[in-house]
Amino acid sequence: MNKTPNQKSKLKIVIMEPLGISDDAFKALTMLLKADGHQIIAYDHKAETEEILAERVADANIIVLANQPLRKKVLEHCHHLKMVDVAFTGVDHIDVDYLKANHIAICNAANYSTHAVAELAIGLMIDLKRKISESQDILVQGKSKFPIGSELCGQTLGIVGTGTIGLQVAKIAKAFGCHLIAYSRTQREEAQAMGIEYVSLDQLMRRSDIISLHVPWTKETTQMIDAQQINKMKKEAILINTARGALIDYHALAQALNMGKIAGAGIDVFEEEPPLPPDHPLLTAKNCIITPHIAYATREALYKRAEIVFDNIRCWLEGQPQNII
């Protein structure tokens, strides 16, 4: 069982990186915890090394983090840790096995960014299909011959993963007039009621005009979109990834883009957090729009995320934990 708090104990809560909300919002969301006597230490920048991070969190009872990694090397210094509160949906950047082995509670912030991520995915589709960024580059260069784009209406959108975000993308795309197909480990009645046709991954890669990834990163999904799968895509198709960088073999993707085997890609996530190394293959790939992991980052989503994070702590203190991993 997870360690449970002593209701009378005053805990040290360390927020080890910024949560992306205003000072006023932060004060409002932490007011009750402070009123109850809990100590809150919040850092306004990420620790540059694991050694510095270990110093920051060593005495913490509760650690709050977003997407900065929290590994065993750091956690071994945390002898008073009772809870890790992840301000993110995915938890592949923390050592879940170590935390569970030591009976330390883990909570996440599920579904805080559903609309934000879905809207960026759709935005990347529109940009690539209507050649918005490409047209801007041509205009800036003083040229007059502009490319002709395509409408989303009538295109076949293949959604890989029909979880909450995947279904939100489907809802928006349906409003644009897309035909929807999907590949997912679990076939959901809600998706089928929406008119989504479930197919194999092989069929999805071959039939889709647009492919959008919305699955978590696991051993099974690592580089699920490799050279073999990319080669099945239509020459006019585009690939969108706002999920996890490790889902795609980016060297194979860059090669396909540069050789004109597929029409384009919109990528928000990478094997590691930006900044990217200067030799990253997508930095020089043709018809590739890359963004620095911003799909989740809207004012609305970040505030909702912070609300969930502090609700997680409150519920855990009351002995009714939520969003447990």
273 is catalytic: yes
Largest interatomic CA distance in the chain? 71
- Buried b vs exposed e over 130-166: b needs ≥16 C-beta within 10 Å? bbebbeeeeeeeeeeeeeeebebeebbbbbbbbbebb
Residues 6+ positions from 253 with CB-CB distance below 8 Å: 225, 230, 239, 265, 281, 282, 285
CA pair distance 266, 257, nearest whole angstrom: 11
Q: Which of 115, 206, 251, 293 is catalytic?
A: 293
Question: Cβ–Cβ contacts within 10 Å for residue 95, how many?
Answer: 20
Closest of 178, 186, 179, 180 to residue 161, by C-alpha: 186
* Measured distance CA(261)–CA(203) in Å, rounded: 18
Partners of 63 in the β-ladder: 14, 84
Let me know if 56 is a catalytic residue: no
Distance CA 238, CA 262 (A): 6
Residue of 123, 128, 87 lying closest to 106 (CA atoms): 87
- 151 catalytic per annotation: no
State both tokens at 56.
């920051």
- Reference 172, options 216, 116, 242, 217; nearest CA is 116
Residue among 56, 244, 280, 305 flagged as catalytic: 244
End-to-end alpha carbon distance in the chain: 13
Q: How far is residue 76's CA from residue 98's CA, in Å, rounded to a whole number?
A: 9
Residue tagged active-site, from 273, 305, 307, 314: 273
The CA distance from 198 to 135, in Å, is: 35
The residues that are catalytic are 244, 273, 293
